[in-house]
Structure 1
Amino acid sequence: MGKVGKLFRTTAFKLSIAYLLLFSIGAGLVLTRVGARVKEVLDEQIEQTVEAEIRALSEQYAQGGLRQLTTAVERRVRAPGGSLYLLMTHAGDVIVGNIEPPKIAPGGGRELVEMTYQRRGEPGEVHPALMRLFLIPGGFRLLIGHDIEDHQVLRDILRRALGISLFWLVLVGAFGGLFVAHRMLERVDVMSDSARRIMAGDMNERLAVSGAGDELDRLAENFNAMLERISELMTGLREVSDNIAHDLKTPLTRLRNRAEAALRGSAQNGEHREALAAVIDESDSLIRVFNALLMIARAEAGYSSDNLGAYDADAVVNDIVEMYEPVAEEQGVRLEAVTQPGLTVTGSRELLGQAVVNLVDNALKYGSRGEKPGIDVSAKRVGDRIEIIVADHGPGIAPADRERVVGRFVRLENSRSRPGSGLGLSMASAVARLHHGVLRIEDNEPGLRVVLSLPAMRAAVSRSERA
């Protein structure tokens, strides 16, 4: 009973019943109108027949008077059919006819009147008819009509057909609604079971997609996409936790050992100051790591403390290159920027600036050791996208490591001798995803070419196309 009750409570069943009621009302109105129209057509045919009879009998009377009219009526009375005739004197005496004089005779108008009659020789049997009274000079009256009992039979047949049709319509519609509700409930129950397994901790479970392309399939596909995103975020959270546990353990241990060594020894003030300076350096390094992790988390979550808005990416690139020019000069590295004006994007200026800073900083650290110590930073439009490119002429990254290097705390063997946390490219990749873009790592032949590809602001694209 519980399962049947669930079927009756489903939205599919309620919608089926609602459609059934609306369709039944519509079908009833249509059949009622058909019946009324059939009656109108039959009445019109009877009216035309009666009019023709009156004209013909009027001609008979005009040609031969009452005797010829009586003869014509007698001839019509003997003919089979549903026509009714009654010729009477002004006193109501019957001259000729096939019906009894009515108790209430119709008026002498031109319209047909629905009334009842009795056939002569059949007392007690009352039948319906449409009649008209025709007045003849001399006070004679001629009542002409047509039996409409078959019309009532036809209307009764239509009413019965309507009732039977509505009965079967309701019956089939109810079973159809239950069938649809049952199928819908089966799919919803499957989805509910999958959702319960997901809530129980099975994050690999996904909602079943039937392939019909209906609204439940679209809901399941969107829900599965959401689960994929949640799984990615949870995997990233686990990786961050593991990376923090492994990669921050060494600097924290080193920090603690230096502090203990400074406390245990009999060092002078200068040595204490050196120990404290080393502790501060280690602390700053840890703070930078945590800030980078926080910024990556904010970018991957699609959140920034700054309001997301439109800004010029070329201005961001020029500011950062100008800031790093003194550092590049000290290292003897050529740092140049080539940008196009009006490269408007929508997002977080702070996060994009930090991503470009990371790319330029990585290029200075690892890409300035080649035969051509130079770094080229460019920003240009490519179709409907804006590409920020940082290219160097250093040793580059092997193709097999280019996907792995964007992970958190990933540092290749040839870069472990230099300071860093392994979060720069991971941060840039997260910022690209926040801006609905992508980070590509390519070969610069020689060196490395990192491309930050972002969608251009639509209004900006339209202005450039008009220009």
Structure 2
Amino acid sequence: MLAMLALIYWQTVIYGTRQTDETIDAEITGLAEQYRQRGLAGLVAVINERSNPERGSSMLYLLTDQRQHPLAGNLSRWPDLEVQADGWMRFRLSDDGRRDSSPHIAQATSFVLAGGVQLLVGRDLAENTAFRNRIVTALVSSGALMLLLGLVGGIVLSRRALARIETINRTGDLIMAGEFSRRIPLKGSGDEFDRLAQNLNAMLDQIERLMAGMRQVTDNIAHDLRSPLGRLRSRIEMALIEEPSTERYRDVLQQTIGEADQLLATFTALLDIAEAEAGSPRAKLVPLDLAAFARDLADLYEPVAEEKGLALKIETAAQPIEVRGDRHMLSRAVANLVENALKYTPTGGTVRISVTTDGTMARLAVADDGPGIPPDERERVFDRFYRLEASRTTEGNGLGLSLARAVVRLHGGTITLGGNGPGLVATVSLPLAATAEQFERSMPVNNRR
């Protein structure tokens, strides 16, 4: 603002000074032409006419003889001239002027005509000074008004911003005090504060979901571990109460080892999920024929299917379908899908394993004829320890699908569940080898070791 006002003032001063200089130059040019045409007498007549007070002009004239005796003009005597740096002469104009008795500054130039006659042409700068003072007053008033409006506007805007920030702080204090359902209110203006509040609310919703999931996982772990630990303790306690028997002790120890193996399997699955979700450095992605991999897996589970009276069918292309993956981790992930299909398919049913390609993706699907999963539950079954059976009496720990999703995501793929009318089809989509190499290069360096 100050720079703008200074520029306005400077341009105004330059314009007024230039106008004064051009006016005096034009007047000198005109008088010189009158002198050439009409001589000294004609020049005297012109000067007397132009210096008439009734014209109200601010121009100053003085024509003197060799002894500086006035011949014509509106100055009574030759002034004391001071030559300035710009080449113009300045002098003080007091009661010799025609405006008032207060001293003014005048700007002039002089030259000598033929015969020693001297001519001074100038201009009273009182109007310029008054105009400049009015400009200064106007600029100062405008600057003061702009400063006042700026301060008022700044206070209003800062108070509005601080009020929004204080709302966020109060909401944060309430949340830290335990009111986790609190959210930051929106104004509906769509401004930066509303967008910030939306992002914070979304973050709080996600945190609340994660906390609910952690509570659910904790409850499930407690439920799943309490029963085997209780059975283990009761079995050992009964063995101690009963009569000593080597066979009884051996039986109790074998059952205890079985319970311990189940507990270790649960914790191993949790560690494997955490390792896969963290981008396991153990996952060495190498070229892998997914079709041959599926056939090997089918051969492995075919005796299990026959024992349960099920048909296990494999459908793959004759040519290799190459992906990049860790064979051990993919085996654990896909094996969980096959085991679930065999577990829930009724006797006489069929489990199908197929491998196909779709653009840049390879798809491995495991379909069964079981009861399936309701559409609204198909996403939740990937949560750790989640089971459709609320009583949790069915064998298993509810970690198989969680491990499968973590492993598939580690390989840059996806896993989805769909209906098989009746039954369920689990589809694993993995990028083909060329696409997988691009995905692997995009992973952080510490995840590609």
Q: Settle same-fold status: TM greater than 0.5.
A: yes
Change (3 A) 1:105 1:396: same
Q: CA deviation at 1:283?
A: 0.8
In 1, distance between residues paired with 2:167 and 2:247?
A: 72
Match of 2:16? 42
The amino acid of 1:32's aligned partner reads: A
Partner residue, 1:326: 300
Alignment partner of 1:29 is 2:3: yes
2:32 aligned with 1:58, yes or no?
A: yes
Q: Report the number of matched residues.
A: 429
Q: Which amino acid aligns with 1:255?
A: L
SS at match of 1:248: helix
Name the residue aligned to 2:342: 364
Hey, what's the Cα distance between the residues in 2 that align with 1:268 and 1:77? 144
CA contact (8 A) 1:136 1:142 kept: yes
Provide closer, same or farther for how the CA distance between residues 370 and 165 of structure 1 changes in structure 2, counting only shifts above 3 A. Answer: farther
Amino acid at match of 2:427: V
- State the 1:148 CA deviation: 1.9
Deviation at 1:406, TM superposition (A): 4.1
Q: Which residue of 140, 148, 161 maps to 1:171?
A: 148
Per the alignment, residue 15 of structure 1 pairs with none
Quote the residue 2:442 is aligned against. none
Alignment of 1:185-200 (within 5 A): 185-200=162-177
SS for the counterpart of 1:60 is helix
Q: Which amino acid aligns with 1:303?
A: A
Partner of 1:19: none
Deviation, 1:327, is: 3.1
Equivalent residue number for residue 445 of structure 2? none
- Matching residue of 1:8: none
2:89 — aligned with what? 113
How far has the Cα of 1:222 moved from its partner? 2.2
For residues 356 and 151 of structure 2, the distance between their equivalents in structure 1, rounded to whole angstroms, comes to: 66
**1:303 is aligned to 2:278:** yes
Aligned counterpart, 2:110? 133
Q: AA paired with 1:371?
A: G
Q: Which moved more, 1:104-113 or 1:386-395?
A: 104-113
Alpha-carbon contact 2:109-2:121 (below 8 Å) kept:
yes
Aligned-partner Cα distance in 1 for 2:298–2:284: 25
SS at match of 2:370: coil
Which amino acid is 1:30 matched to?
A: M
Report how far residue 58 of structure 1 moved: 2.1
Aligned 8 A contact 2:62 2:121 in 1: yes
Aligned residue number for residue 16 of structure 1: none
Q: Work out whether 1:283 is the aligned partner of 2:257.
A: no
Retained in 1: the 8 A contact 2:356–2:364? yes
Give CA-to-partner distance per residue, 1:231-257, whole Å, 9 cap, x none: 122112211222223233222222223
Alpha-carbon distance, 1:391 to partner = 1.9
| Offset at residue 225 of structure 1 (A) | 2.1
Aligned sequence identity (%): 33
**Which whole-Å CA distance do the structure 2 matches of 1:296 and 1:190 have between them?**
40
Q: 1:81 to 1:310 in 2, by over 3 A?
A: farther
**Structure 1 pair 206/29, CA: closer, same or farther in 2 (3 Å)?**
same
Q: Per-residue deviation at 1:144? A: 0.5
Amino acid at match of 1:359: L
Q: Deviations over 1:133-162 (max 9, x none)?
A: 122011111001122211111111111111
Residue 212 of structure 2 is aligned to residue 247 of structure 1 = no
1:81 aligned to which of 49, 57, 77: 57
Q: Give the structure 2 partner of residue 378 of structure 1.
A: 355
Look up the SS of the partner of 1:422 in the other structure: coil
Aligned pair partner of 1:258 in 201, 211, 235: 235
- Alpha-carbon contact 1:117-1:128 (below 8 Å) kept: yes
**Cα 1:142–1:317, aligned 2, differ >3 Å: closer, same or farther?**
farther
Query: Deviations for 1:246-282, whole angstroms, at most 9, x for unmatched residues?
Result: 2332222222233234434446544433332221111
- What is the alpha-carbon distance in structure 1 between the residues aligned to residue 64 and residue 86 of structure 2? 19
Superposed CA offset, 1:162-196 (max 9, x none): 11111111111111111111111211111111111
**Structure 1's 338 and 198: CA in aligned 2 closer, same or farther, altered over 3 A?**
farther
Q: 1:40 to 1:69 in 2, by over 3 A?
A: same
Q: Which deviates further from its counterpart, 65-74 or 388-397?
A: 388-397
Partners of 1:396 and 1:443 within 8 A in 2: no
Task: Give the alignment partner of residue 198 of structure 2, picking from 221, 229, 248.
Answer: 221
Match of 2:70 in 1: 94
Given that 2:368 and 2:423 are in contact with CA atoms closer than 8 Å, whether structure 1 keeps it comes out as yes
Query: Greater shift after overlay, 446-455 or 428-437?
Result: 428-437
Alignment deviations for residues 415-448 of structure 1 (CA, whole Å, 9 cap, x no partner): 9887422332244456677889764321223432
Tell me how far apart the structure 2 counterparts of residues 48 and 105 of structure 1 sit (CA, whole Å): 20
| Aligned position for 1:13 | none
SS for the counterpart of 1:143 is strand
Aligned to 1:21: none
Deviates more, 1:55-64 or 1:262-271: 262-271
Rate the CA distance shift 1:86–1:237 in 2: closer, same or farther, 3 A: same
1:70 matched residue in structure 2: 44
Give the Cα separation in 1 of the matches to 2:180 and 2:321: 46
* More off after superposition, 182-191 vs 403-412: 403-412
Cα drift, residue 401 of structure 1: 7.3
- 1:45–1:65 distance in 2 versus 1, CA, 3 Å: same
What are the superposed Cα offsets for residues 96-149 of structure 1, whole Å, 9 maximum, x if unpaired? 110133442366999543433245377953222221112201111100112221
C-alpha contact (below 8 Å) 1:320/1:357 kept by paired residues:
no
Show the counterpart of 1:12.
Answer: none
Q: Which amino acid aligns with 1:128?
A: I
Equivalent residue letter for 2:113: I
CA–CA separation in structure 2 for the residues paired with 1:264 and 1:93: 148
The answer to whether the 8 A contact 1:334-1:375 is kept is yes
Where do 5+ consecutive residues of structure 2 fail to align? 440-449
Matched with 1:149 is 126
Deviation at 1:82, TM superposition (A): 1.1
In structure 1, what is the Cα distance between the partners aligned to 2:434 and 2:174? 42
Matched, 1:235 2:235: no
Q: TM-score, normalised by structure 1?
A: 0.77
Q: Note the C-alpha offset of 1:449.
A: 0.3
- Structure 1 counterpart of 2:368: 393
